[in-house]
Amino acid sequence: MKQFRQIQIILALYLIGSCSCMFAQTHQFTGSVLWKVSGNGLTESSYIFGTNHILSKAFLSRIDGLDDILNSCQQVVGEIDMNEATLDLSAVRKASLLPEGKTYSQLLDKTDYNKLDSVLQQDLKIRISQVENISPVTILTMYTVNLYNKISDGGSYSENMDNYFQEYARTNSKEVVALETLDQQIQYLFYSKSLNDQINELLCVISSQTIEKEMKELDQSYQNGDLIDLERLMNEDSDCSSGPEEREIIYKNRNDDWLEKLPRIMADKTSFIAVGCLHLVGEDGLLNKLSLMGYHIEPIGMQP
């Protein structure tokens, strides 16, 4: 389960710079990471929370009335059911590995191989020989989580907010609803780009001179609930930006799929919807799209 939690935070890691989408919002949604959704035929309000998959659940104490809001909802809705990972660890392990027969000594030239080995020794206290069969996405996750913990009070993965919301639901006899399956998320996170592109991104990130600064700014914007600034930072060019096709797969296409499901989910039961905050912002973000569908979107206050 710990391994999957590290994998789960990949969605947040794409905030670092792999998304440089161009947005033109109809409405300016900012000032919170928790939003009340009402109207458009709903008899009771639901809520949508933009999570930071790395940040500790301690951050949640800053959200006004969060406990009462959670208690008022009949179900918690997440990107996936976190418990599904415990039932299918083999799929997660398989996705975490390089294709059979592939190793970094084969895939990298001597210069890049030595560079990666040096960074792994310095930052993760491991040698590349220990991760010869581990996928670039998994190594990137390990590297970036370690970097995040250096610049923030990120806390323990075992206390991340995504898991907390679902555990709260189960402890309080509430239903947990998944917007997609574990297999779907694995496909998005591990197979939306070629192995060569994954390697290039890993090499780019470990060589970047600006990634620490970018992470600090993104973390601060999130903790301030400043979705406009978060969007601005995402739109800035990055040394390691991904292409438009990948961004469309990871964000827009998934949002569109979720938006087909959310009206029925919210109409069926009052829902606390917790998904990565990146999915909330922009023209194609959930907040704007729900507003255009006729729902009233209202921020819930945050303490400084």
**70-101: per-residue pLDDT in tens?**
999 999 999 999 888 666 778 888 889 999 99
Give domain status of residue 126, yes or no.
no
pLDDT at 30: 92
Give domain status of residue 267, yes or no.
yes
- Residue located via tokens 């006004």: 64
Give domain status of residue 294, yes or no.
yes
| Structural domain span for residue 269 | 34-91+159-194+228-299
Closest by Cα among 240, 223, 287 to 259:
287
Pairing of β 271-276 and β 46-51? parallel
pLDDT at 160: 77
Give domain status of residue 112, yes or no.
no
Residue ranges, the chain, pLDDT below 70: 1-27, 85-87, 153-159, 235, 237-239, 241-247
pTM of the model: 0.87
Give domain status of residue 283, yes or no.
yes
Give domain status of residue 258, yes or no.
yes
Give domain status of residue 81, yes or no.
yes
pLDDT at 238: 65
Domain count, the chain: 1
Q: Where are the extended beta strands (E) located within the chain?
A: 34-38, 46-51, 75-78, 175-178, 271-276, 296-299
Pairing of β 296-299 and β 34-38? antiparallel
Give domain status of residue 24, yes or no.
no
Q: Residue 19 and residue 285: Cα distance in Å, rounded? A: 13
pLDDT at 80: 92
